[in-house]
């Protein structure tokens, strides 16, 4: 008994060492990533300001500046400075040039009087950091403004809208998205899909706070993108096929559902009035503190589907959820739906939502058009 106890304690000790090693390695990796991001922002700053340095420079180097600079730096043994990467650094700085405003001259160079500052720094220029102690201070300040790795920011550069880009940056940091997860969310137009179910003020909030889950409507997307299932839209498939494909790719589906979702079961059976009923998919959302049940429809949504979901929600509220849990949320995923039918069938303030899904990545142009239409409808409704 004593020997078993000591063995268990020893295993816990080993586990503690492993966890500590893993965490510190992760921290070191994150630090290296941030250092690379800071370096590349600074490189972009240098290039932009040098290019803006006057007609003589433009005439001397012209379009060949990047190529000449890359060749010279490569000879110096600096890595990651191909012409393509240097252009990406320039683009990165231009996308995040507002960070320069967070580098006030007096706080960066406190030991140099104003007259010397004006001599060395006629404008807020990269020239000031030729001094090592100033470069170190600048780099430290810049590091506090970046929260992701370089590959993440390369993906973010594809997003031209500043508010939209800020949203993805916040979400990637808060959710620990890898590069591929971030790229998938951008390609699936997560921002536009969340914006379609929000009013003007809530859309603004996305860019400042990211996705905040406080009420059921906060987790609803329009549409849901299920391209990871591998199902082809033009070929026939059943609701069972769709359900199985989602379960097979449950990690992808949880990512698509969003924050706080935990999978509980599929084909959850309950019996009422001597009849068996089956809920396609049952989840729990720890942020909403409520069950979220999903029913899959491969065709057009009908009023009978809404009535059935209302019964499912009522059953969970009365017989499954505990007193301290919030009301159950029902989501119907369908290929097509009529908003008028949903509104007419369901009672006001219902906890049931109908959303369309797609088996392919959407056209951002189409989604932006839908956003504009939704915004016009919202403004007309609130006049």
Report the pLDDT averaged over residues 172-199. 88
Comparison of pLDDT for 242 and 348, the residue scoring more? 242
Cα gap 174→260, rounded to integer Å: 12
Domains detected in the chain: 18-146 (no CATH), 150-219+362-383 (no CATH), 224-360 (3.40.1350.10)
Predicted pLDDT of residue 376: 67
Please state which of the ranges 200-204, 220-224, 259-263, 320-324 shows the lowest mean pLDDT: 200-204
Report the pLDDT averaged over residues 355-371. 79
pLDDT, tens digit, for every residue of 61-75? Answer: 556 888 888 888 888
Where does the pLDDT of residue 113 fall: very low under 50, low under 70, confident under 90, or very high at 90 and above?
very low
Cα gap 173→165, rounded to integer Å: 12
Where does the pLDDT of residue 115 fall: very low under 50, low under 70, confident under 90, or very high at 90 and above?
very low
Predicted pLDDT of residue 378: 55
Q: Is there a cis peptide before residue 46, judged by omega within 30 degrees of 0?
A: no
Tell me: pLDDT of 28 over 80.
Answer: no
Q: What is the pTM of this model?
A: 0.77
Tell me: pLDDT of 365 over 60.
Answer: yes
């Amino acid at each position: 008994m004593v020997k078993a106890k000591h063995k268990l304690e020893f295993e816990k000790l080993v586990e503690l060492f492993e966890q500590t090693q893993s965490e510190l390695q992760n921290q070191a990796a994150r630090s290296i990533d941030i250092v690379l991001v800071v370096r590349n922002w600074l490189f972009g700053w240098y290039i932009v300001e040098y290019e803006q340095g006057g007609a003589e420079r433009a005439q001397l180097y012209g379009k060949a500046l990047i190529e000449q600079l890359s060749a010279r730096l490569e000879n110096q043994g600096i890595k990651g400075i191909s012409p393509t990467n240097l252009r990406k650094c320039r683009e990165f700085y231009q996308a995040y040039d507002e960070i320069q405003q967070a580098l006030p001259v007096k706080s960066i160079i406190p030991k140099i009087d104003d007259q010397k500052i004006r001599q060395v720094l006629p404008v807020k220029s990269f020239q000031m950091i030729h001094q090592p102690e100033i470069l170190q201070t600048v780099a430290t300040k810049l590091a506090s403004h970046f929260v992701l790795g370089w590959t993440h920011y390369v993906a973010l550069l594809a997003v031209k809208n500043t508010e939209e880009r800020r949203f993805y940056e916040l979400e990637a940091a808060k959710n620990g998205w890898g590069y591929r997860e971030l790229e998938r969310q951008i390609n699936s137009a997560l921002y536009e899909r969340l914006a379609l179910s929000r009013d003007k003020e809530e859309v603004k909030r996305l860019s400042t706070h990211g996705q905040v889950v406080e009420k059921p409507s906060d987790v609803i997307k329009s549409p849901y993108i299920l391209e990871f299932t591998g199902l082809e839209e033009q070929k026939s498939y059943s609701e069972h096929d769709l359900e199985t494909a989602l379960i097979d790719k449950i990690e992808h589906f949880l990512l698509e559902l969003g924050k706080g979702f935990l999978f509980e079961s599929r084909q959850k059976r309950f019996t009422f009035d001597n009849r068996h009923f089956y809920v396609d998919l049952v989840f729990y959302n720890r942020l909403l503190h409520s069950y979220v049940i999903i029913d899959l429809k491969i065709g057009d949504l009908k009023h009978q589907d809404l009535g059935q979901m209302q019964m499912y929600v009522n059953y969970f509220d009365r017989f499954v959820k505990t007193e301290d849990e919030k009301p159950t949320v029902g989501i119907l995923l369908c290929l097509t739906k009529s908003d008028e039918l949903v509104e007419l069938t369901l009672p006001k303030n219902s906890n049931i939502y109908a959303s369309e899904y797609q088996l392919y990545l959407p056209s951002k142009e189409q989604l932006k058009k839908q956003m504009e239409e939704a915004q016009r409808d919202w403004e007309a409704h609130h006049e």
